Amino acid sequence: MPDSPLDASPLDASLAGALGGRTAQAMQKAFGLRTVGDLLSHYPRRYARRGELTALDQLPLGESVTIVAQVLDVRERTMRARRGSILEVRIGDGQGILTLTFFNQAWRAKDLVPGARGIFAGKVGDYRGLRQLAHPDYELFDASHEAVAGVGDAEAQAWAKQPIPLYPASASVASWQVQRSVELVLDTLPPIDDPVPAAVRAELELVSLRDAYELVHRPEKDRDHLRGRDALRFQEAFVLQAALLQQRALLRTAPATPRVAGPDGLLARFDAALPFERTADQVLVGSEISRDLEGDVPMNRLVQGEVGSGKTLVALRAMIAVAESGGQSALLAPTEVLAAQHLRSVVRSLGPDLAARLRPTLLTGQMSTAEKKRALLSIVSGQSHLVVGTHALLSEAVGFYDLGLVVVDEQHRFGVEQREALRQKGRTPPHVLVLTATPIPRTVAMTVFGDLDVSTITELPAGRQPIESFVVPLADRPGWRDRVWQRSAEEVAKGRQVFVVCPAIDAASVEAGEEAPVDDAPEGTSEGAPDGDVPAPERASVEGVLALARSLPVLAGARVEPLHGRMSADEKDDVMQRFAAGLIDVLIATTVIEVGVDVPNASTMVVLDADRFGVSQLHQLRGRVGRGGHPGLCLLVTHAAPDTVARERIEAVAATLDGFELAQVDLELRREGDVLGSLQSGGRSSLRLLRVATDGDLITTAREHAAEALKGDAALSGHPALAAAIARRLDDADREYLAKN
């Protein structure tokens, strides 16, 4: 917020002062609006016209709607079971008919006369097969204008064509009540400073913020609200990008210890011993990281790359470089299975000499007390230069001698607070390297990770086998279920191994902390079930599928074992080691195997109830096969019906192996808030008009202009309106998120 009341913007004024206490309280309760700026940013969701009618036969049952319609007839009847009457008003659009019902309110018949038009709002219900609104709110159009609108009066014609803003409403606050409040605020709004510099607005031909509010909320013609939205959309992108870039500049003011790898040091020895040539992308990203590590400001870099593209190798080289200067690195992994595998991979990659010198150490929550004590001593004394662990690394009991680098594997599996807790364990701010195998579209990277430098690895190492992917649509091909097991048995007969992934451990629960929520299907339902009329198929679970697989004749003699998060660390590690050694043929698992698990002999990935997983999860799971000498096969089994979003999502995954293409598809299929995560999770910081799926060019332009405004002026002392807009846009929690991210 601005420093003093004298500097406060009119947008920061409370709604209570502008509208009165009762109305302000209703706005806060219904929509969380507290200030004038909040209300003016509560934009219309669409625009109607007084001459327009709504397709009433297409209104969804159970949803609150705001519609434009015409009264057809009115009748009053006496209730049978109790005293009083019901007023039934039929409204129509020439095709569909909707009934309005009012109990003991016969006086409304004076207003709701046949031929009257207006806006009606309420929840769509069903009574004996007919759609109805019970006790709806309504506002009728001015009868005098209606009477002359069709006979050539210019003013009346303009009135009939003028767009009517329809606002997001609630059961307690109707759209027109929001409209009246907005008009009252606009009528008394003093001049306001614009966060977008005048020169930028002139270059891009954008109206001022004050005019944009006027055009969006009180348009006289369609192009008015379009021009207003253009200006407000750019302002939203500009302020958010300025906030991200400002945070980036502030992070760079903190000193960091340079970590330089010498020409004949540990890193050079490691590179010389590699049994393969690094890909061009690995070399490029490695040089970017080396340059960051050698600087005196903390590295804050995101490395994204396809499954199996070599992100772990890039991270390991960074950790070795830090070790050359005596520093320590901490690799935070999302699961104990992955942490244990990372440690084995690190030891194997280092070789016996470097491993003995750097002493890689594992720390997880399920280790024995004696094992933990040994690990903690090795870490705090600085004997261990490479530390791999799970959330156990975040414990207050864990101390580092000289933490120089934090590596976060699969960043989307951790909260911001968890990453920050590890970063705070450095005596000076450590360098931070974030890894993700979930490709991020450019616009999302700019909008969510705009304060990080982004490196991308697209080139896959030589020797990766192609993967064929197929959708198994049980909703329309139920007989294909048997073929899934037959195909798996064929792979086992060839000496290969099979993953079978389920969304749950047992019939009653989903694995906490392991499974991501389904993108757009409610818990316990299938998108293939229309309106809940068809019972959803029972969710595939590890326990149920394990029993089934062991009973199938086609898998007789096959070694079938489970893996899930309720097993102890030793049990999970034992299963994974036996699977990696070829001692298990079919692994029935939850998504504990989603990332990082490397079993070259595994050729087949079967995902049951694939519609319960997101695009990125399915792509990650598929990446577990085709890592050795055998072509990969991925079977995505689903009950989702054709032409549903869930089915479209699965078919998109099957259609391409390009993770970046899938990321764009995912962005287009998912809700905006899902894409943007914690920063955009709702409240004042959620995106309002900006859409990262479609506004990429706009975001890029806004970022360029924001960077220019911040050049040499990170505090924005020369742009007070922009500084105030950032303060207004981001509350304390948002600022803390940016600082940690």
What is the distance between the alpha carbons of residues 271 and 277, in angstroms, rounded to a whole number? 9
Residue 631 confidence (pLDDT) = 87
Averaged pLDDT for residues 326-342: 89
What is the distance between the alpha carbons of residues 230 and 198, in angstroms, rounded to a whole number? 15
What is the distance between the alpha carbons of residues 516 and 650, in angstroms, rounded to a whole number? 16
Averaged pLDDT for residues 705-713: 91
Domain 467-656 in CATH 3.40.50.300? The answer is yes
Candidate from 38-42, 212-216, 309-313 with smallest mean pLDDT: 309-313
The pLDDT of residue 679 is above 60? no
The residue with tokens 């049980």 is: 474
Neighbours of 305 (CB within 10 A): 25
Among 575, 552, 256, residue whose Cα is nearest residue 427: 256
Residue 148 confidence (pLDDT) = 45
pLDDT tens-digit map of 345-377: 899 999 999 999 999 999 998 888 999 999 999
Q: Where are the domains of the chain?
A: 52-141, 266-457, 467-656
Q: Report yes or no: 472 and 579 within 8 Å, Cβ to Cβ.
A: no
What is the DSSP track for 79-90? -SSSSSEEEEEE
The answer to whether the 52-141 and 467-656 domains have the same CATH topology is no
Of the segments 53-62, 91-100, 205-214, 705-714, which one has the largest average pLDDT value? 205-214
Per the DSSP assignment, residues forming a β-bridge with 47 are 165
Six-digit token string for 637: 């089994």
pLDDT tens-digit map of 126-185: 877 778 888 787 888 766 555 444 444 555 556 556 788 889 888 788 888 899 999 999
Per the DSSP assignment, residues forming a β-bridge with 36 are none
Residue 681 confidence (pLDDT) = 35
Q: Which CATH number applies to 52-141?
A: 2.40.50.140
Averaged pLDDT for residues 10-16: 91
Contacts of 250 (CB under 8 A, 6+ apart): 714, 739
* Model confidence band, residue 253 (pLDDT cutoffs 50, 70, 90): confident
What is the distance between the alpha carbons of residues 157 and 146, in angstroms, rounded to a whole number? 9
Residue 259 confidence (pLDDT) = 94
Contacts of 301 (CB under 8 A, 6+ apart): 288, 289, 292, 432, 433, 434, 452, 453, 454, 455
pTM metric for this prediction: 0.65
What is the pairing mode between strands 164-166 and 46-48?
antiparallel
User: Rounded mean pLDDT of the chain?
Assistant: 82
pLDDT tens-digit map of 474-515: 988 988 999 999 999 999 999 999 999 999 998 776 544 333
DSSP 8-class letter at 531? G
Distance of CA 368 to the CA centre of its chain: 37
What is the DSSP track for 432-496? EEEEESS---HHHHHHHSTTSEEEEE-PPPTTPPPEEEEEEETTT-TTHHHHHHHHHHHHHHTT-
The pLDDT of residue 579 is above 70? yes
Six-digit token string for 739: 């600082």
Residue 509 confidence (pLDDT) = 63
Q: Which CATH number applies to 266-457?
A: 3.40.50.300
* Model confidence band, residue 459 (pLDDT cutoffs 50, 70, 90): confident
Neighbours of 152 (CB within 10 A): 8
Per the DSSP assignment, residues forming a β-bridge with 506 are 509
The pLDDT of residue 712 is above 50? yes
